[in-house]
A and B are shown apart, each in its own frame.
Chain A
Amino acid sequence: MINSLRARLLAATAVLLLAFIGLTGVALQTAVRERAEQAEHDRLQGLSYALLGSAEITDGGQFNLASRVLPESDLSRPDSGLYAMVLDEKKQMVWHSPSLLGSIDMPDLPAVGQWREMRITRDNGNRLLTLSFGFRWVTANGKDYRYTLVVAENTAAFVKQMQRFQSVLWTLLSAAALVLLIVELLILRWGLAPLRRLARNLANLESDDERRLEGRYPDEIQPLVSNLNTMLANDQARLRRYRNALGDLAHSLKTPMAILRGIAEDKHLADDQRNALRSQLARMNDILDYQLQKAAAAGKRSLTRRLALAPIAERLGRALTKVYAEHGTRFDIRIAKTLRVPVDEGDITELLGTLMDNAAKYGKDRVVVDATRSDQGVLSLWIDDNGPGFCDAEPQRLLERGVRADSTREGQGLGLAVAAEIVHAYNGKIELTTSDMGGGRVRVRITES
């Protein structure tokens, strides 16, 4: 199965073209050959008539044909390739042209008044085309003689001529076929150019900010392009609407929760009531955060444009430097400027923000962010801190919802679980290990496409 439009069209055209050229060649060759053979026949016949016109029979019954009246000079030149002879009824040669040396063995002779064409191979290997004519000569004194006139021509010249014709014919036809194939190739290139442009633009889409296919395409594929653009735009708009709606939901729920949280500080309430209020509010907040973040993750999508990772991490680093100014936390972003990955900007900002914040919160004063991409398209991203590391015996457990390393610090307690959800939305892996600085390391692996 050929899996390319161009190859299919080309193969079909090539087969068709070769069949056509072949048949044309055979037809032409046959026609020309028949025409040439007919012409040869006519020539020999003409020669026969001319010879008969010059023949005479002596009174003694001797067949005679004067050499000087021969119609073709080739008949006079010995072994010229054109021969004539006359046989009597006993097949004895009674006359031959000076060109004929020896005699031609005729296996069969025509009846009187008949022409017969025959191909004969002589003893010396020459191939001859012979035309024999049987006739009866009645002399003035009433004597009746039966003769056969044989004219012959060596076919070597004819064969050679035919061969030359054939070679010219097939050369020209092959050249024509080649030219046609090249032209066909160019036509295909030109005709399929819009499809190639579409493919190129689709590939470029991943580095394009607009995330739409630009330019005018032929009528056959324009609807496809338009639909694709609409789909891409809708997709993006839907995600934005969705996230805004989730943000609004968070906003409308969290302000009342903040008020309740304030009320939980009321000294008039009993301690157990205050504690219950606090813990239930914290629980509600965790559930809300986790579910909202999970819902807002776009996850793996096709035709996602490639994002430079370093600027996003640097932006977060600058923002977090302010937030952790009290600790003097330094954010070291080592990601190569050239590293671009096909992930949603919101997702990667959330993932990096959560992990960098987490590292700054539980680390001492240094956070290192680095990432690489292997040739197989596997993105590795790791965030290191110089804190005490993950003290839990099973650090992987921290990635599960609701498990918090340090329950005294409220807020991003679900950070790792949220990060894990985002990574899972990309079918990626997240693991907690130890950094070179002895602190925690969160390592994320996402395979592209």
Chain B
Amino acid sequence: MRALVIEDDVELRAQICERLRSEGFAVDETGEGEEGLFYAKEYPVDIAIIDLGLPGPTGLDIIAEVREAGLDYPILILTARTRWQDKVEGLEAGADDYVVKPFQPEELSARIQALVRRSRGWAQPRLESGDIVLDTSRQEVFVGEQSIDLTAYEYRVLEYLMLHAGEVISKTALTEHIYEENAERDSNVIEVFVRRLRAKLDPDGTRKPIETLRGRGYRLARDDRPRANNNNDGNAAP
């Protein structure tokens, strides 16, 4: 999952980014509105955390432009202003939730996780596909009753595939969503991660949870159980 953090206070931004990275996000960050707007429109963002009180283009401007460009990833606003008029303006511009400063770090994480899940149509923090269970709040993976130990990147790949269960995900897309913009990338590494994941999730090679579609990418079987129907329809710009 790639998160974009636009917050002009360096220290606070560092805290937020550190926390997000520790939770398995690839994080792009900036403290500047103009740059933030560029990232928000050009990067493959899965969730954006935007401070409303930015210099340059304000958080509101960025949100409105993102929605106008037809991008519908979830946006969480950070605001120091407690007045409802400010919050409502942010939500009306196209944000999906808000967190008021000073916030409890775990609350911020919970809100971000919830937004990402909801944007993919998952109602619960536990993502399930067959006997694979991924708990986004604890970052734990189980196959059946057995806990599976994954590296950070393996976790990122699995989380992305599970959130997009049933969809074909290209190697490029996977690369884009698990790496930060200025990270060293090698799409061959993805094959390695997937191979290792298969080995860990399906050591005896009987269930084949991750399908390879030649030349197109990977697909994780979609669970048939009904998902939440409150798929964020508020994402689209009005």
Contacts and interface: CB of A to CB of B under 8 A. Distances in A.
B102 A254 contact: yes
Given A259-B15, A322-B91, A325-B232, A293 B82 contact: yes
A261 interface: yes
Interface string A149-171: 00000000000000000000000
A254 B114 contact: no
B101 A353 contact: no
Contacts of B82: 250, 289, 292-293
30 contacts: A243-B83, A250-B81, A252-B80, A254-B80, A255-B80, A258-B9, A258-B80, A258-B101, A262-B15, A262-B19, A263-B15, A265-B106, A281-B102, A289-B82, A293-B83, A315-B88, A315-B92, A319-B88, A319-B91, A322-B97, A323-B91, A325-B230, A325-B232, A325-B234, A326-B118, A349-B85, A350-B84, A353-B84, A410-B107, A411-B100
Q: Choose among A255, A323, A346, A357 the residue with the greatest number of B CB atoms under 10 Å from its CB.
A: A255
A238 B152 CA distance: 54
A296 interface: yes
Interface of B: 9, 11-12, 15-16, 19, 53, 78, 80-88, 91-92, 95-98, 100-107, 114, 118, 230, 232, 234
B83 A296 contact: yes
Nearest to B11: A259
Q: Choose among B11, B84, B103, B234 the residue with the greatest number of A CB atoms under 10 Å from its CB.
A: B84
Counting from the closest, the 8 A-B pairs by CB-CB distance are A353-B84, A254-B80, A262-B15, A258-B102, A257-B102, A319-B91, A251-B80, A258-B101
B105 A262 contact: yes
Contacts of A319: 87-88, 91-92
A247 interface: yes
A202 to B, nearest CB: 27
A289 B79 CA distance: 13
Interface in A180-235: none
Contacts of B85: 345-346, 349-350
B84 A316 contact: yes
A336 B6 CA distance: 41
B214 to A, nearest CB: 38
Given A254-B100, A258-B101, 9 more contacts: A255-B80, A258-B9, A261-B102, A262-B12, A321-B234, A346-B83, A350-B83, A354-B84, A410-B107
Interface string A317-356: 0110111011010000000000000000110011011100
B97 A323 contact: yes
Query: Main secondary structure on chain A at its contact with chain B?
Result: helix
Contacts of B80: 250-255, 258
A285 interface: yes
Q: Choose among A321, A325, A352 the residue with the greatest number of B CB atoms under 10 Å from its CB.
A: A325
Nearest to B90: A319
A281 B103 CA distance: 10
A353 B81 contact: no
A410 B85 CA distance: 20
A88 B36 CA distance: 139
